[in-house]
Amino acid sequence: MIRKLLSACTLLLLCSFAAAQDPALLRPPKGAQVALVVFQDLECPKCRIDSPLEEQAARAHKIPLVLHDFPLPLHKWSFNAAVIARYFDSQSKELGNQFRDYIFQHQPEITADNLQSFAQKFAADHKADLPFVIDPQGKFAAEVNADKALGQKVGIQHTPTIYIVSSRNRGRPVVEVTDSTQLFQMIEAVQAE
């Protein structure tokens, strides 16, 4: 039964991406020639594993790491976690990234029912305010949905999806990293082009 459900979810996810798929929509941030662009789901176990490697690779190669939220429908709490991360981003980008790292660290313990408790503990530990209603106007949810819409236009089919994007190489401006063990070498190859 679970296999059939997972197969149906995968098929629905793949069908939703059958429309326009254009990774060339991705560009490095202003002032950068190369960047690492990652579409992630905070409930995704592979995203949790790859996140420290992505951060390390960006630091080592002195390139920006651009994170996009792409919560998958089968994950019960990932959308709400992304909204909370956006709230912390509004306090400071560093705080938002620390919250994402905290969520990945505690991912196996988190459920839809206790996510708010984890967010409250994070806020208290970082001396940050966490309002009772985090997103009353829906601004942060709209930002998460905008990332998801971009991912759908790009053709994201799984998380994490990792791209190395370059403004230098017109013939190959976007390279998908399908094997995270090759991340460092691929960044170096793109930088050398």
Q: For 125-161, how does the pLDDT look when each residue is reduced to its tens digit (9 = 90+)?
A: 999 999 999 999 999 999 999 999 999 999 999 999 9
pLDDT tens for 46-73 read: 999 999 999 999 999 999 999 999 999 9
Domain contains 14: no
Cα separation, 156 vs 158, whole angstroms = 6
181 CB-contact burial (10 Å; exposed 0-12 / middle 13-18 / buried 19+): exposed
Q: How many residues are listed for the chain in this entry?
A: 193
CATH number of the structural domain spanning residue 74: 3.40.30.10
Kindly state whether residue 156 falls inside one of the protein's structural domains.
yes
Q: Does 2 map to a domain?
A: no
* Contact assessment for residue 23 and residue 157, using Cβ atoms and an 8 Å cutoff: no
Residue 48 lies in a domain: yes
Identify which has the larger pLDDT, 102 or 27. 102
User: What pLDDT is recorded for position 23?
Assistant: 65
- Domain enclosing residue 94, as ranges: 20-192
* Number of domains comprising the chain: 1
Domain membership of residue 172 (yes or no) is yes
Q: Domain for residue 10, yes or no? A: no
